[in-house]
Amino acid sequence: QGFKDNLHAVFCLAENAVGPRATRPDDIHVLYSGKTVEINNTDAEGRLILADGVAYACKDLGADIILDMATLTGAQGIATGKYHAAVLTNNEEWEKACVKAGRNCGDLVHPLVYCPELHFSEFTSAVADMKNSVADRDNTPSSCAGLFIASHIGFDWPGVWVHIDIAAPVHAGERATGYGVALLLSLFGGASEDPLLNLVSPLGCNGDCPPEEMERDSKRRRLV
């Protein structure tokens, strides 16, 4: 699509199958971030590899914008419904941009509460840096699941982190909807040479910024 900036796609994939090396309750893993995780829920496995993915993007790729997208929690469908994905981010501008991009392209998005100072305590562990699942499933579990991922780049990380939980919108009955492709193209369209993507993108200059601002903005758009 004619992207001009440094764009990486990191696929966080793992076989979720029973075997002699499968994760067991009370296991403690050292993740790629160096943080230790006590397993208290073997069904909360996807966030483990997502945490490694964002840590890799930060440490090895040097990204200053990291967006992770996954069918992470069944609670997302309860929080924002079948048609709106849930977005959690450390940046208010990008939260608004995700909502606007969704409206522009049809892949709708709605914000979750971002409050690590109150919610990350759900993962408190006596023997590791954190557990992998919440203590209280009634306390915004979709937000907390996203915070687990963010903790592996650090809540004081100066870059932009965006988490999009697409558990419900990706399917209609037994069929996939293809949700997410249009959203990413719209959200990052300002970094493309495609005039249509520039038109629908809520971020970037879209031809209205002076050259010096365009250059400065480009340095902030090494995208993941």
Looking up residue 171, the CATH number of its domain turns out to be 3.40.630.10
Band (188; pLDDT cuts 50, 70, 90): very high
What pLDDT is attached to residue 216? 47
- Note the pLDDT tens digit of each residue in 86-100: 999 999 999 999 999
CB atoms within 10 A of CB 173: 5
> Would 208 be classed as within a structural domain?
no
> Would 106 be classed as within a structural domain?
yes
- Note the pLDDT tens digit of each residue in 122-134: 999 999 999 999 9
Residue 69: DSSP 8-state: E
> Would 143 be classed as within a structural domain?
yes
Give the number of domains in the chain: 1
> Would 207 be classed as within a structural domain?
no
Question: Tokens standing for 50?
Answer: 């997502």
Query: In degrees, to the nearest 5, what angle opens at C-alpha 188 toward C-alphas 1 and 178?
Result: 75
> Would 84 be classed as within a structural domain?
yes
> Would 79 be classed as within a structural domain?
yes
Alpha-carbon dihedral sign for residues 94, 96, 99, 105: negative
- Look at 18-32, 49-63, 152-166 and tell me which has the smallest mean pLDDT: 18-32
Nearest-CA neighbor of 46 among 73, 79, 85? 73
Is residue 8 scored above 60 in pLDDT?
yes
- Note the pLDDT tens digit of each residue in 31-71: 999 999 999 999 999 999 999 999 999 999 999 999 999 99
Which residue range is the domain that position 118 belongs to? 25-198
Region 167-188: mean pLDDT is: 96
CB atoms within 10 A of CB 130: 22
Q: What's the CA gap between 182 and 160, in Å, rounded?
A: 20
What pLDDT is attached to residue 59? 97
Region 15-23: mean pLDDT is: 84
Nearest-CA neighbor of 51 among 164, 157, 151, 180? 151
Nearest-CA neighbor of 46 among 149, 134, 131, 174? 149
Entry field: residues in the chain = 224
Residues 6+ apart with CB under 8 A from 61: 8, 10, 224
> Would 35 be classed as within a structural domain?
yes
Is residue 142 scored above 60 in pLDDT?
yes
H helices of the chain, in order, are 46-59, 75-80, 92-105, 116-119, 141-150, 181-187, 195-200, 211-219
> Would 109 be classed as within a structural domain?
yes
Backbone angles phi, psi at 204, to 5 degrees: 95, 175
